Amino acid sequence: DAKTTQPPSMDCAEGRAANLPCNHSTISGNEYVYWYRQIHSQGPQYIIHGLKNNETNEMASLIITEDRKSSTLILPHATLRDTAVYYCIVRRGNTGFQKLVFGTGTRLLVSP
Partner 1 sequence: SQTIHQWPATLVQPVGSPLSLECTVEGTSNPNLYWYRQAAGRGLQLLFYSVGIGQISSEVPQNLSASRPQDRQFILSSKKLLLSDSGFYLCAWIGVNTEAFFGQGTRLTVV
Determine the Cα–Cα distance for residues 18 and 106; give it in Å rounded to an integer. 12
Does 97 bind partner 1 (CB under 8 A)? Our answer is yes
Determine the Cα–Cα distance for residues 34 and 36; give it in Å rounded to an integer. 7
CA-based torsion, 63, 69, 49, 47: positive or negative: negative
Compute the least distance from the CB of residue 108 to partner 1, in Å. Answer: 15
Compute the least distance from the CB of residue 105 to partner 1, in Å. Answer: 6
Does 92 bind partner 1 (CB under 8 A)? Our answer is no
DSSP-derived secondary structure for 68-98: SSEEEEEETT--GGG-EEEEEEE-BS-TT--
State the number of binding residues for partner 1 (CB under 8 A): 23
Does 103 bind partner 1 (CB under 8 A)? Our answer is yes
Among 45, 54, 56, 57, binds partner 1 (CB under 8 A): 45
- Contacting partner 1 within 22-41 (CB under 8 A): 32, 34, 36, 38, 41
Q: Please, which residue, 53 or 95, has the CB nearer to partner 1?
A: 95
Q: What count of Cα atoms within 13 Å lies in the side-chain half-sphere of residue 91?
A: 17
